[in-house]
Each structure stands twice: as structure tokens, then as C-alpha cells.
A and B are shown apart, each in its own frame.
Chain A
């Protein structure tokens, strides 16, 4: 399972390194979203700095939809999906590999977005450790849930519209918990510590990783 997941993740990342679609299209879109939020909230820095954690996670959520769509668009042409299914790789390994590839790309995106939040909204990071842990846990959860739904929608004619509809409500707890954890880490008054929220992110990630490992096999047969 682990060897298969490394293979699949390596394949997806190699395609990304050569095509640079996520780097050159998804990351700029996410930064653009930050700029659009600034237009929406006015030129004053105070409301922006206050809303920064939420805006960051909303941008991450939308970008993750794009990253997942890209991850499964890779396999749309030339019957690559059938090839992957017939390759004899462990479905759990395929799931973990695709999740890891999406997560790694999202981490790069989040580093860029964090810099964007600091520069554009004037946020000050109080606790780097908390930000990193919450970011990684949230990303793992988003990537796992996104990959599950991506596989589900892949091959359907309505996949572009179906994926956000299914994925965003399920990802709502990540937005909620991620925002709260970041509010604590950025020193914005949230009426409580960020630790329980970070653990909620970890629980979300573990639950969806486990669910994906169990369910990806039957799901692959459906398409």
C-alpha cells in the first residue's frame, strides 16, 4: 500500500512539475482571491486583518477544489483512469498517493497565501508552530475528503459542478476549525484557545484518511 502510494504521488507530482498547472494557474487564482477580498472589505486594514484567518481558509478551500479537479483531470484523457484501475495497484495506495500529491501542492499554495496574508492584510503571526500544525492537519483533511469526492465525480459529465456542491459542505468544519485555530495563532481575539480546534482538524484528517483507505476500492469500481 505504501509503495503504491509513493508511486502514484510521484506520478502526479512529476506531471505537475512538467506542466506547472497548479503552480501557474491555481496559486495565482488563490492570491487573486485574497486581492478580491481586499476590494470587497474596503481599503481599511483593520477589518481585513481581523478577517484574515477566515479569508485565508476560504481561499484555501476554493483552491483545493481546483487542485482536486486538476488531480483527476490528469487521468481523464487516454483512458488513464482505466489504466490506473487495471494496474493492480492497491486502491488504498492510489487514494493515499493522490491525497499526498494534492496535499503537497496545497502546502506550497498555503505558504504563498500566508505570505500574502501577512503582506496584504498586515497580519502578525504570533505562534508559528500553531499555524504550521493547524495548516498541515487542515490540508491533510481537505486533500483526503477532496480526493474521495474527486474520484466519485471523475468520469461524470457534470463533475465540474458536482464536486464543489458535494465537497464544500463536507469541508465546512475545516473552514470553521482552521479559522479559529488561526485566529488564536494570529493573536486575534477569538474568545478561546486554538488547541481544541487544531485537534478537531486532526480528527477530521484522520477520519477521512481512514474512510478513504477503506472505501476507495469500491468507489473505483463505480466509474
Chain B
């Protein structure tokens, strides 16, 4: 396979179709969530139309706080474990973190939009808000380590350690800020006895929202993984090009007849 072909398809033909299918499924389920959330479901008795944010905010938070972070932490551990070490896990970790940053930021933004009318505040030092904000900073720290120029192995090692240390910190942060202050409402669907506290079409729409955003996450993860493979290929080919240019410089004859660059020794 030529480099160009492998660049176009870093995975098999079947995987391309699976990713494409994921994308379509995510788009369809998102559209259905929007339709159900905005037109079909009734407004809430207390929160009126604001309640419609419930169909996107918890699913986004679920993707950011559990899926993205879980995938990043798990693949970092798998990279560090010598038996399962492969560049696949490193690429997967960085993809999960980068997609996770988007979703964590969206969690904060949608929560803020909800908080302003219901609590009267854009921001409050509530436990979940604080720990989510800290999580965002931890993820940004991971990307900062990632951006430091280094050879791929050291970079993978460093970023895996950062992800692991951050993952260990998350439960501690969670408990500490939980004791510190809490204003946020408890979990609605995934509560202790697994009986949803909302009813009918609203519960179904919320459930569909969870499915839609999970699909979206999986699709974005796959695409980001592909970008990572392509950028690695590009780095390698750029290095090759630079090397060849340098070789060409060394061997090429001086072209200017009497330019300043030409050495005086060449003109008798």
C-alpha cells in the first residue's frame, strides 16, 4: 500500500463503513432528540420551557464526565501496561481527551445557560460545577503535555502518566467539593434505585438524548483517531521531505554565475 492510500484509509474498508454508519445514526438520533425535545414534549410545570435543556445537558455531561474520561483513563493504563502497549491506546487516549474537552466545556456552557434563569446565577461554587471546571483544567493540562515537542514514545509515556494522575484526582476532587458545597439537583435517571423521577415522553426523550450523544461521541472519537493517524503520517513525510531537501542542497551545483552565495574558489 502506498503512503497515499494508507493516509486515505488508516483502517479497513469495513471500519470505514462502521464509522460512517455511526455518524448517520448519531445525526438521526440527534435530530429525533431535537424534534421530541422542542416540539413533542410538554413544558414543565415549574421550569416551563427551560426544562427542555434536560434533554441535552445531562447527556453531554454523561459523555464528558464518564465516557470521555473513562476511555482516556483506561487507554492510558493499557498503554502503560507493557503487555498491551501499542500506539493504538495512545492515539485513542488523546482522541478521547480532545473530544472530552469539547463536551466538558459544553457541559459548563449548557449548565450555565440553565443556571441563570433557574438559580439566578451564571456560575455558583456548587460541588458539581466546581469539579467539572477542575476536570476541564486537568484535561487542558493533558493537552499541554501533548503539545510539548518530544519523540512519540516519551510523549505517550508522559501523557499517559498525566491522564492517570488526573484520573486518580477526580474522585478526590468529587468528594471534597461535594462536602464543601452542594446546590445541584441529584441525578435524575441514574439515581440509586434506578427509577426515573420524570415521566412519560420526557423520560423517553432524555433516554434518546443519552443514546444520541453517546453515538456522537463514538463517531467523533473515531474521526479524531483518524486525524491523529494522519497527522503522524504527515509528520513523518514532512521529515522525509526536509531530509531530501537538505541532501539536495548538499549535492546540487551552484547555479548563480556570480552570486554572492557562490564560493570564490569556484571561479578561477
Contacts and interface: CB of A to CB of B under 8 A. Distances in A.
Interface of A: 145, 148-149, 152, 156-158, 162, 165-166, 169-170, 172-173, 176-177, 180, 196-197, 200, 203-204, 207-208, 211, 215, 218-219, 221-223
A222 B138 contact: no
11 contacts: A145-B165, A166-B141, A166-B145, A170-B169, A196-B179, A200-B175, A204-B172, A207-B172, A211-B165, A215-B161, A223-B154
Contacts of A170: 138, 165-166, 169
By CB atoms of chain A within 10 A, which of B141, B145, B172 has the most?
A: B172
Nearest to B156: A222
Contacts of B169: 169-170, 173
Contacts of B106: none
Contacts of A162: 144-145, 148
- B-side interface mostly: helix
Interface of B: 80, 134, 137-138, 140-141, 144-145, 148, 150, 153-154, 157-158, 161-162, 164-166, 168-169, 172-173, 175-177, 179-180
Contacts of B148: 156-158, 162
A29 B168 CA distance: 31
Contacts of B165: 145, 148-149, 170, 208, 211, 215
B157 A169 contact: no
Contacts of A180: 180
Contacts of A197: 179
B76 to A, nearest CB: 11
Nearest to B172: A173
B21 to A, nearest CB: 38
Contact of A152 (B161, B168, B177): B161
A169 B158 CA distance: 17
Contacts of B137: 169
A207 B168 contact: yes
Contacts of A203: 172
Contact of B173 (A173, A208, A221): A173
